[in-house]
């Protein structure tokens, strides 16, 4: 009787709202469209689901709590960064909740997992630290992972004493003392900011003086929920100014089931980027099929979002010589599922990466063959060798910290552009495999410092740089980056055609006419504007068609890669390199 009365009250409350649908309308397809693809079939099934609900505005959160409770749900963590909350609800209540006009979207609270001494020398971060005196000082990095112990030698502060772990928030077990019962977060933290104390500096991270904010979202088995990840992102945004949090590292991943414009996890990362925080995410480890063939379209969330800096993995092949570097076979290729976005953005070393171990973690037992000694006496083996895009992402995160130390005024878009522009492209890899190219930390930090310098400073040598950026699904090349281009505004989303006021987006100056802005987009309508790009000497086709329908890029060997729909019905997207072998067929990536 009590359950029936609660249901009746719930329906009455829905109908009493201004503009609310009638009870007869609940469950119609328009309401079910608010459910993500994983939840839609559950709406007609028995049982319960863990979900993330978002509403129209923050004022509606209190009402949402009441609605969930009246529907027989258990309210979980509040997620103000997306105007939402996590909950456990009966499947039968999903159509009713979706039918409420204050509810914008309901998504499955998906499981998130970890996406797994030559690295610094390979990407050039060691050299640039020595040459420019940069070490990440003053920059705080939020590491959203499985946590980290604060007492490890390599996380100490040799100047002030104590630890560089300034904050530890446990969103799994609510413990106060820093710890890592899994081990993944400790390894990631060491790549970002270990100082190499136990190895006499040999196994130091990329930014060994950076401050560390540890946000634990993965449990002892390496699993978590996207609601916890969203809450951790929200914490980083809320504490941004208090701790000078400039970067978030997400070496955690989950599947892509809906557009990045709907997924609450990717929307949380967008809020962080809009707040001026660079969000770095692992691309995922889905580059090989179960049969061992190269697989495309495996980029994981939140790395599928254009505003996220998505990192694939390369291998330094055990040397510091860049010439023998390769893309790791496991590294996820683009395009992203559902939205067909060009990913990754760059690749960085992620094979055999030597970083910190935690003797109290699961990794210390399960990965014991990969434990390594340091150079000073310790009671345990302090280092561990691991591979994965989880290891590649923090290499980029540490590089970003060096860039922001050199130039604190950089926005997330500017950081991403510099990393792509200075990346080193390798022949034999398409852009859905290597993105803009292999990370060049030395070039990125040098260019970041240049853009903060006084006018008249010579532009750094671009030898070996890609001198290109992939703006959304468009390849931009033929100019030099400038410090105050409109593309770097936090009001501009990566890939936008125009600014919020409708003005053409600028990104730099022409190589041949440094007094003119270089812009892209359709019909920018001004004299200081280039709407059409040309084919470069190396065979790369550069986009800029006025109709905006087709995006084309190419490879160094002159083969054209077409990115876009191949037919009016939009059923297929064609990508890949053309070939002269009659037996070679185009690769088709379905959009459905």
Active-site positions read: 145, 184, 390
Q: Would you give the distance in Å from CA 529 to the centre of its chain?
A: 31
User: Cα separation of 465 and 420, whole Å?
Assistant: 9
User: Cα separation of 536 and 516, whole Å?
Assistant: 19
User: Cα separation of 369 and 367, whole Å?
Assistant: 6
User: Cα separation of 496 and 453, whole Å?
Assistant: 28
Residue by residue, DSSP assigns 385-405 as EE-SHHHHHHHHHHHHHHHHH
3-class DSSP state for residue 260?
coil
User: Cα separation of 47 and 425, whole Å?
Assistant: 51
Instruction: Give which of 302, 146, 139, 112 is closest to 215, Cα–Cα.
Output: 146
User: Cα separation of 563 and 556, whole Å?
Assistant: 16
Kindly list the strands in the beta sheet with 479-481, ordered across the sheet, starting from the edge strand earlier in the chain.
479-481, 505-510, 517-520
Contact present, 198 and 378 (Cβ < 8 Å): yes
Q: What count of residues does the chain have?
A: 592
User: Cα separation of 349 and 324, whole Å?
Assistant: 12
Beta-carbon count within 10 A of 308 CB: 29
State the burial class of residue 285 (Cβ atoms within 10 Å of its Cβ: 0-12, 13-18, 19+).
buried
User: Cα separation of 215 and 167, whole Å?
Assistant: 8
Contact present, 184 and 384 (Cβ < 8 Å): no
List of residues 6+ apart from 308 with CB closer than 8 A: 250, 266, 269, 273, 279, 280, 281, 302
State the burial class of residue 484 (Cβ atoms within 10 Å of its Cβ: 0-12, 13-18, 19+).
exposed
User: Cα separation of 493 and 413, whole Å?
Assistant: 8
Residue with tokens 């001494």, as numbered in its chain: 117
Counting Cα atoms < 13 Å in the Cβ hemisphere of 533 gives 26
Q: Would you give the distance in Å from CA 562 to the centre of its chain?
A: 25
Contact present, 171 and 217 (Cβ < 8 Å): yes
Contact present, 365 and 183 (Cβ < 8 Å): no
Contact present, 549 and 403 (Cβ < 8 Å): no
Residue with tokens 């903060």, as numbered in its chain: 452
Contact present, 299 and 315 (Cβ < 8 Å): no
**556-578 per-residue burial string, b: 16 or more CB within 10 A, e: under 16:** eeeeebbbebeeeeeeebebbbe
């Amino acid at each position: 009787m009590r359950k029936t009365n609660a249901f009746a009250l719930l329906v009455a409350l829905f109908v009493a709202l201004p503009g609310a649908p009638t009870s007869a309308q609940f469950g119609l397809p328009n309401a079910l469209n608010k459910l993500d693809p994983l939840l839609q079939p559950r709406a007609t099934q028995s049982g319960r689901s863990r979900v993330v609900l978002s509403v129209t505005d923050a004022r509606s959160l209190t009402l949402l709590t009441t609605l969930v409770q009246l529907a027989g749900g258990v309210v979980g963590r509040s997620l103000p960064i997306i105007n939402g909350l996590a909950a456990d609800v009966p499947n039968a209540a999903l159509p009713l909740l979706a039918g409420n006009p204050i509810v914008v979207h309901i998504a499955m609270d998906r499981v998130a997992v970890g996406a797994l001494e030559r690295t610094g020398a390979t990407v050039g971060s060691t050299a640039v630290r020595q040459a420019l005196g940069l070490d990440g000082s003053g920059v705080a990095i939020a590491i959203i992972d499985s946590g980290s112990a604060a007492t490890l030698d390599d996380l100490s502060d040799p100047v002030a004493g104590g630890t560089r772990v300034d904050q530890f928030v446990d969103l799994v077990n609510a413990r106060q003392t820093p710890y890592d019962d899994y081990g993944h977060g400790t390894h990631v933290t060491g790549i970002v900011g270990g100082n190499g104390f136990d190895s006499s500096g040999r196994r130091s991270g990329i930014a060994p003086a950076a401050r560390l904010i540890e946000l634990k979202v993965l449990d002892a088995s390496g699993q978590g929920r996207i609601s916890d990840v969203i809450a951790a992102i929200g914490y980083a945004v809320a504490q941004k100014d208090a701790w000078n949090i400039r970067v978030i590292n997400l070496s955690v991943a989950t599947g892509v089931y809906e557009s990045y414009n709907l997924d609450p996890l990717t929307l949380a990362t967008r809020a962080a980027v809009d707040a001026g925080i660079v969000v770095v995410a692992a691309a995922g480890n889905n580059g090989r099929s179960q049969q061992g063939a190269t697989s495309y379209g495996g980029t994981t969330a939140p790395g599928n979002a254009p505003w996220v800096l998505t990192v694939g993995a390369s291998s330094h092949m055990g040397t510091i010589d860049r010439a023998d570097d390769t893309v790791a076979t496991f590294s996820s290729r683009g395009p992203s599922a559902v939205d067909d976005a060009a990913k990754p953005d760059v690749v960085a070393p992620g094979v055999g990466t030597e970083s910190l171990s935690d003797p109290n973690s699961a990794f210390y037992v399960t990965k014991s063959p990969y434990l390594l000694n340091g150079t000073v006496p310790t009671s345990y083996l302090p280092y561990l060798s691991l591979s994965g895009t989880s290891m590649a992402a923090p290499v980029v995160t540490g590089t970003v910290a060096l860039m922001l130390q050199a130039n604190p005024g950089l926005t997330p878009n500017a950081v991403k552009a510099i990393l792509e522009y200075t990346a080193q492209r390798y022949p034999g890899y398409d852009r859905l495999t290597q993105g803009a190219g292999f990370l060049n930390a030395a070039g990125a930090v040098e260019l970041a410092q240049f853009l903060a310098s006084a006018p008249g400073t010579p532009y750094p040598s671009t030898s070996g740089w890609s001198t290109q950026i992939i703006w959304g699904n468009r390849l931009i090349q033929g100019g030099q980056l400038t410090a105050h281009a409109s593309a770097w505004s936090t009001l501009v989303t990566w890939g936008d055609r125009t600014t919020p006021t409708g003005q053409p987006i600028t990104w730099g100056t022409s190589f041949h006419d440094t007094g003119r802005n270089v812009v892209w987009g359709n019909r920018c309508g001004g004299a200081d504007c280039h709407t059409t790009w040309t084919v470069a000497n190396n065979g790369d086709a550069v986009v800029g068609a006025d109709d905006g329908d087709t995006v084309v890029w190419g490879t160094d060997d002159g083969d054209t890669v077409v990115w876009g729909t191949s037919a009016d019905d939009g059923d297929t997207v064609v990508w890949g390199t053309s070939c002269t072998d009659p037996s070679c067929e185009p690769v088709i990536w379905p959009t459905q």
